[in-house]
Structure 1
Amino acid sequence: MTKTLDIVFLGLSLSSSWGNGHATTFRGLLRALNKLGHRVTFLERDVPWYAHHRDLRDPDFCDLRYYDTVNELRRNHQRDLQQADVVVVGSFVPEGRAVIDDLASVCTGQFCFYDIDTPVTLARVAEDDCDYLARRQIPYFDVYFSFTGGPTLERLELEFGARRAEPLYCAVDPERHYRNRNVIEWDLGYLGTYSPDRQRTLEALLLEPARRLPDRRFVVAGSQYPREIAWPDNVERIEHLPPAEHAGFFSRQRYTLNVTRTSMVAAGWSPSVRLFEAAACGTPIISDQWPGLDCFFPASAIETAGCAQDVIAILLGRSNRARLMMARQAHSLVMARHTGAARAREFTSVLTQPGRVLDLNVESAA
């Protein structure tokens, strides 16, 4: 039997998924921790951008609270932070450096960092250009949880002084991502907020195939795309797709495309949550190529492409049977290893391994 933990997260946003992949990650992890019986609080900086686009105002799996300034965070939430068994600061928290300095002197339990943007963070930290984490602060944390695995974990410890670096990848919620009975509308689709370093790959692997296959249908869903982009006539645009609609969106695609940010490709071992969501919905995936991809999806469970012709060959050359067999294998892998429940167990397991402060065993903790 394990005792109930009081866990406090400080993250970019839980309440809004608008242009923000962090919300999906936090929602799945916190929901799973709640199901395991832990008490979870999420502290979010109240900023206009997310306040105007909130799609989760009153979560039933955690206590969501807002603060306006670092001083208010200290004044109104210091007791909760002091008494928490675990405090986790996420990447891109506004004024994160000041927040971390404050918490380092307050927390009496485990103090952790959850980097949902590890390659971006390390590049900025190395240049002393990161406003949410300073290099000197990395050794403050008992555990540095990272969205990126592989060699980056060793680099965190040896080069940046992390006491302990552990992977905590994104995950999917099977209760919200599953195959529905929607009729397939698009041969290939993509879900992702605009990013300049992804756009060239999106052009090569979706827009160019669309131009060459005018009788096929394509779709791109996501916000912040520049108005000057010339979308082919057979590419449908969806400006924003809230998490509740992701399953239906993936279920209407014959294939879905995964495009990885340049920094994530360079680091490797950085799976996107869209990979796991699509697989959970039974939708076959075409992905760009990056080191470590086969650790999550073997070649038999995913298609990879490096140019438009690769995509066209897949769309025109794969049988329906082969496509569905690949999707079933990816689905099985994700359900076994990459759910929110799996991540919650990994998270608490790391905190209770030898040498950790916490002991979740009720008998030995008494």
Structure 2
Amino acid sequence: MVFGLTVSSSWGNGHATLWRGLIRALTAAGHHVTFVEKDVPWYRHKRDVHDLPGGRLLLYTDWAEALAARRDLLDADALIVTSYCPDAVAATALIEAEGQGVRLFYDLDTPVTLARLAAGETVDYLPPHGLGGFDLVLSYTGGPALDALRDRLGARAAAPLYGHVDPGTHHPAPPRAMFRGDLSYLGTYAADRQPTVERLFVAPAGRAPEQRFVLGGSSYPADFPWQPNIHFMDHVGPADHPAFFCSSRLTLNVTRADMAAMGWCPSGRLFEAAACGAPIVSDSWPGLERFFTPGEEILLAAEADDVLAALALGDGELRRIADAARARVLAEHSSAARAAELVRLIEAARAPAQAAA
């Protein structure tokens, strides 16, 4: 059972696609997942999933509705609360008081969480007493983030549960004329990501006017520094991601600033693009080599010159890099692999939790 941000709408967030792949893999392995989501207007009007095959999507308008269903909800082997869940604090109190299964918190935004705390901000999805009431805290980010979750937020145990990709959804696809380009970039606008986007996407576009640059994503402001050869499309839905990635010679990955600074934070877009067989050029961050081998499975860029050099590579070299990345992702970073990892982590946390009870 999961109290989360959203699984029903992929608009402007990365949580939904990750949960869809994970839930699909868990149900294929014989597990049943209930996802509890607050029915907020922003996602209600942009919903692209209305049910979970093999699972259950429970939408509620206020917390009283969720409480009314708690007997059904709390009868689960594992109870998960996630970052950015609108009622995370209430859900935490509920499972701490009445939950019988393993209690987990899954922070899919750990560097953002820690940066907000360091800035003195209130993080409304964290319980006031910290994370010590959970049997296990999962983090989308590994490395030093795990120490911070223990030292700063009181997690009794912390483990990474990285991003992943569902090969049934993200796979090589025929290119489409509307997405064709030399370099593509897919991502929701984020102010902290913007300097890197300008350095690795906008600047190369300005220096290569004869090439076509394609940007897909929502929430881009009117004052974005558009170039004549940047072609924009607002919100590319998950069903169109394979065609988007496969329609350009090279696709760019840009990591949010807090995540890049902390490291060990592979974005879902990285795995999605690789599973689609797209050659990737990415910004760099500590720990990236744990997921892809630079120069063999991914190209790295710090400045516009690096991106232009990547674009100058021959098609055969780009294909070799893309094929190596796809093989790596299918072997290590599929949703099925991550679902099996989640089950192992829950089982490992179960024994200490039962002993404490």
Q: Give the TM-score, by structure 2 length.
A: 0.94
Task: Report SS of the residue matched to 2:130.
Answer: helix
1:257 Cα deviation after fit? 0.3
SS in 1 for 2:185: strand
Partner of 2:84: 92
In 2, Cα distance between equivalents of 1:355 and 1:245: 39
Secondary structure of 1:139's counterpart equals coil
Q: How does 1:115-130 map to 2 (within 5 A)?
A: 115-126=107-118, 127=120, 129-130=122-123
Q: 2:297 aligns with which of 301, 307, 314?
A: 301
Cα distance between partner residues in 2 of 1:206 and 1:11 = 33
- Supply the AA of the counterpart residue of 1:330: A
- Equivalent-residue separation in structure 2 for 1:352 and 1:42 (angstroms): 20
Give the one of 18, 29, 32 matched to 2:11.
18
- Structure 1 residues 135 and 303: CA distance shift in structure 2, 3 A: farther
Cα distance in 1, alignment partners of residues 229 and 117 from structure 2: 42
Decide whether the 8 Å contact of 2:130 with 2:154 is kept in 1: no
Contact residue 130 and residue 155 of structure 2 kept, 8 A: no
One of 8, 11, 29 as aligned partner of 1:36: 29
State how 1:75-114 maps to structure 2 within 5 Å: 75=68, 77-114=69-106
Q: CA RMSD in A?
A: 1.6
1:202 positional shift:
0.5
Q: Which runs of 5+ in 2 are unaligned?
A: none
Counterpart for residue 364 of structure 1: none
In structure 2, what is the equivalent of residue 221 of structure 1?
216
Does the CA-based 8 Å contact 1:114-1:144 persist in structure 2? yes
Q: Distance in 1 between matches of 2:85 and 2:239?
A: 25
Deviation of the 1:161 alpha carbon: 1.6
Range 255-264 or range 63-72, more displaced: 63-72
Contact 1:351 1:357 in 2 (8 A): no
Q: How many residues align?
A: 350
Distance 1:109 1:355 in 2: 8
The whole-number CA distance in structure 2 between the counterparts of 1:109 and 1:309 is: 53
Match of 1:268? 263
Q: Indicate the residue corresponding to 1:4 in structure 2.
A: none
Shift of the alpha carbon at 1:222?
0.3
Stretches of structure 1 that go unaligned for 5 or more consecutive residues are 1-7, 360-366
For 1:292, the equivalent position in structure 2 comes to 287
Q: Deviations over 1:149-181 (max 9, x none)?
A: 112112222332211111111110101111123
Residue 97 of structure 1 deviates from its aligned partner by: 1.6
For 1:346, the equivalent position in structure 2 comes to 341
Measure, in 2, the Cα distance between the counterparts of 1:262 and 1:182. Answer: 31
Structure 2 residue 38 is matched with structure 1 residue 45: yes
Given that 1:268 and 1:293 are in contact with CA atoms closer than 8 Å, whether structure 2 keeps it comes out as yes
The residue identity in structure 2 corresponding to 1:277 is E
Which sits farther off after the overlay, 223-232 or 337-346? 223-232
| 8 Å contact from structure 2 (residues 292, 298) kept in 1 | yes
Q: 140, 144, 167: which is aligned to 2:133?
A: 140
Q: How many angstroms does 1:353 deviate by?
A: 2.3
- Contact 1:112 / 1:142 at 8 angstroms: preserved in 2? yes
Query: Mean Cα displacement is larger for which, 197-206 or 123-132?
Result: 123-132
Task: Return the letter of the residue paired with 1:273.
Answer: G
Q: Distance in 2 between matches of 1:124 and 1:101?
A: 22
Partner of 1:164: 157
Paired with 2:125 and 2:238, the residues of 1 have a C-alpha distance of 26
Aligned identity (percent) is 46
Q: Select which of 185, 192, 198 maps to 2:193.
A: 198
- Counterpart in the other structure of 1:281: 276
Question: Offset at 1:102?
Answer: 2.2
- Aligned partners of 1:81 and 1:106 also within 8 Å: no
The secondary structure found in structure 1 opposite 2:290 is helix
Deviation at 1:264, TM superposition (A): 0.2
Structure 2 residue aligned with 1:325: 320
Closer, same or farther in 2 for the Cα pair 1:128/1:210, shift >3 Å? closer
Q: Deviations over 1:21-43 (max 9, x none)?
A: 11011101111000000111111
Name the CA distance, whole Å, in 1 between partners of 2:193 and 2:204: 16
* Cα distance in 2 between the residues matched to 1:195 and 1:337: 29
Distance 1:101 1:89 in 2: 10
**Per the alignment, do residues 125 and 356 of structure 1 end up closer, same or farther by CA in structure 2, a change over 3 Å counting?**
farther
Aligned counterparts, 1:219-258, within 5 A: 219-258=214-253
* Alignment partners' CA distance in 2, 1:240 and 1:158: 38
Supply the distance in 2 between the matched residues of 1:50 and 1:191 (Cα, whole angstroms): 20
Distance of 1:19 and 1:186 partners within structure 2: 23
Greater Cα offset, 254-263 or 147-156: 147-156
| Matched residue type, 2:56 | D
Deviates more, 1:175-184 or 1:187-196: 175-184
**Cα offset for 1:183?**
6.0
Which residue pairs with 2:57 in the alignment? 64
Rounded Cα–Cα distance in structure 1 between residues aligned with 2:84 and 2:246:
32
Q: Which moved more, 1:173-182 or 1:265-274?
A: 173-182
Equivalent position of 2:308 in the other structure: 312
- Give the letter aligned to residue 47 of structure 2: R
Give, in whole Å, the separation in 1 of the partners of 2:349 and 2:182: 50
What is residue 5 of structure 1 aligned with on the other side? none
* Cα distance between partner residues in 2 of 1:140 and 1:54: 33
Cα deviation digits, residues 306-360 of structure 1 (max 9, x gap)? 11111111112x122211111111011100010110010000001112763689x
